[in-house]
């Protein structure tokens, strides 16, 4: 995987609080190790605290660019980590949801783990897709028209999803693989 993403640029979301630390750090490290440049994108620039297991304090990480400062055209891939509180904040942020929707429309790899698929539901891009997530989102995904499956990692035409931190090895491998492959021009998108 070394240098397989050389010249590629990836955005990774970081919520104002409550992002699950390893779901942020592991994918970020994986794409950086593969040669990609990474921008940490959030609602406001500055340092934010992550969590471990949703309730224990994690480390502090810097949001480098805001949703309003970036464009989907700037990136070859997008990663949305989970964490119950963090994902809930992201799905309530119109700019974050708009970015996810617009990124999905580009047909470039969109990689989401754990509670992160809440942003997919809110962005109205789940209908007709097969995906996985933290088990408590199953009903939300089905109600949005998606097919929820209980699998380690699911890839549906460049949409990469995983259930929880236990799936990070498989998730990170697929993130790198899909970003290396590039856009899925056969992905059918619906205008909303």
Q: Is there a catalytic annotation at residue 114?
A: yes
Phi then psi for residue 133, to 5 deg, are -170, -175
Among residues 53, 66, 64, 44, which one has the least CA distance to residue 18?
53
Rounded (10°) angle between helices 94-105 and 84-91: 80
Question: Are residues 100 and 66 in contact, defined by beta-carbon separation less than 8 angstroms?
Answer: no
> Which residues are bridge partners to 20 per DSSP?
51
**Residue ranges with strand state E in 43-86:** 46-52, 56-63, 65-66, 77-80
Q: Is there a catalytic annotation at residue 115?
A: yes
Residues 111, 115, 172, 184: which is the catalytic one? 115
Residues 114, 135, 172, 184: which is the catalytic one? 114
Q: 48-64: string of b/e by CB count within 10 Å (b at 16+)?
A: bebbeeeeeebeebebb
Alpha helices in the chain (DSSP H): 21-33, 84-91, 94-105, 117-122, 138-143, 168-181
For residues 61 and 78, what is the distance between their CA atoms, to the nearest angstrom? 18
Which residues are marked as active site?
A: 114-115
């Amino acid at each position: 995987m070394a240098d397989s993403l050389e010249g590629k640029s990836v955005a990774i979301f970081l919520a104002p609080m409550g992002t699950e630390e390893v779901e942020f750090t592991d994918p970020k490290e994986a794409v950086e190790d593969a040669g990609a440049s990474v921008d940490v994108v959030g609602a406001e620039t500055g340092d934010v605290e992550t969590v471990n297991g949703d309730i224990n304090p994690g480390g502090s990480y810097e949001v480098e660019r805001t949703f309003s400062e970036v464009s989907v055209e700037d990136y070859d891939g997008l990663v949305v980590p989970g964490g119950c509180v963090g994902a809930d904040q992201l799905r309530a942020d119109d700019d974050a949801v708009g970015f996810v929707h617009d990124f999905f429309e580009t047909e470039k790899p969109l990689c989401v783990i754990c509670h992160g698929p809440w942003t997919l539901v809110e962005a109205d891009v789940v209908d007709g897709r097969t995906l996985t997530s933290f088990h408590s989102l199953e009903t939300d995904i089905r109600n949005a028209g998606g097919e929820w499956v209980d699998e380690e990692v699911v890839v549906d035409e460049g949409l990469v999803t995983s259930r929880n931190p236990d799936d990070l090895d498989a998730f990170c491998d697929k993130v790198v693989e899909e970003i290396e492959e590039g856009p899925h021009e056969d992905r059918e998108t619906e205008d909303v």
